[in-house]
Structure 1
Amino acid sequence: MSVLMEFAVFPTDKGESVSAYVARVLRVVRQSGHPHQLTAMGTIVETETMAEATELLNRAYAVLAEDCNRVYATAKFDVRAGPMGRLEAKVKSVEEKVRGA
């Protein structure tokens, strides 16, 4: 199984720039060992199970809840039976079609 989760978690009570807090979340993602991709609007992570994805989301929230009174979170999931590797394969498939057009 492959679970792609695109999520964003950040405090809304820490001013205009929250990049230091997003960096804390990204450290949690990197420590998880799951394949991931940081984007300007969030982070995409690939896990083998939904439980792993939601556990990572919980840990991302927890690292902010330590000193943030208000945290915004959003998540989208794409769950599919089959092998891992979709984080890169989906982008590669589109890029190949763009080049072939």
Structure 2
Amino acid sequence: MSGDSMSDAVAAAVRVVRESGLPNRTDAMFTTIEGEWDECMAVVKGACDAVGQYGARVSLVLKADIRPGRSGELDGKVDRVEAKLREL
């Protein structure tokens, strides 16, 4: 990979996430996905494999919020905080 930029590798990983069809959001530091455990882990593996094509090392930070029976929380959590902020 040329220079210090990781944007090509990051873009490859984000492409895997977006093509998965799972609800997702990418910001400056993280890409968040929502779904069942096995489908999310398959997307994580695919994203790591995509990044691995750019070098011999892949670094991964993974945080899980496991709440059986819940969905739509990618937006739901933010909506609840925004509602609280409007109350202030």
Q: Given the two structures, how large is their TM-score scaled by the length of structure 2?
A: 0.91
- How many angstroms does 1:26 deviate by? 0.7
Following TM superposition, by how much is the alpha carbon of 1:82 offset from its aligned partner in structure 2, in angstroms?
1.9
Q: Cα RMSD between the aligned structures? A: 1.4
| 2:83 aligned residue | 96
Counterpart CA distance in 2 for 1:88 and 1:96 is: 12
Question: Is the alpha carbon distance of 1:59 and 1:99 closer, same or farther for their aligned partners in structure 2, counting shifts above 3 Å?
Answer: same
Instruction: Give 1 or 2: higher helix fraction.
Output: 2
The aligned residue for residue 54 of structure 1 is 41
The answer for unaligned runs of 5 or more in structure 1 is: 1-12
Which ranges of 4 or more aligned residues in structure 1 deviate by more than 4 Å? none
Q: Residue 9 of structure 1 corresponds to which residue in structure 2?
A: none
In structure 1, distance between residues paired with 2:87 and 2:54: 50
Partner of 1:23: 11
**TM-superposed deviation, 1:83:** 3.1
Q: Which has the higher contact order (CA 8 A, sep 6+)?
A: 1
Residue pairs, 1:1-101, within 5 angstroms: 15-47=3-35, 49-101=36-88
What are the ranges of 5 or more consecutive residues in structure 2 without an aligned counterpart? Answer: none
State the Cα distance separating 1:17 from its structure 2 match.
Answer: 1.3
| Secondary structure of 2:64's aligned partner | strand
Letter in 2 for 1:43: T
TM-score when normalising by structure 1: 0.80
Where is the strand percentage greater, Structure 1 or Structure 2?
Answer: 1
Cα gap change, 1:38 to 1:25, in 2 (>3 Å): same
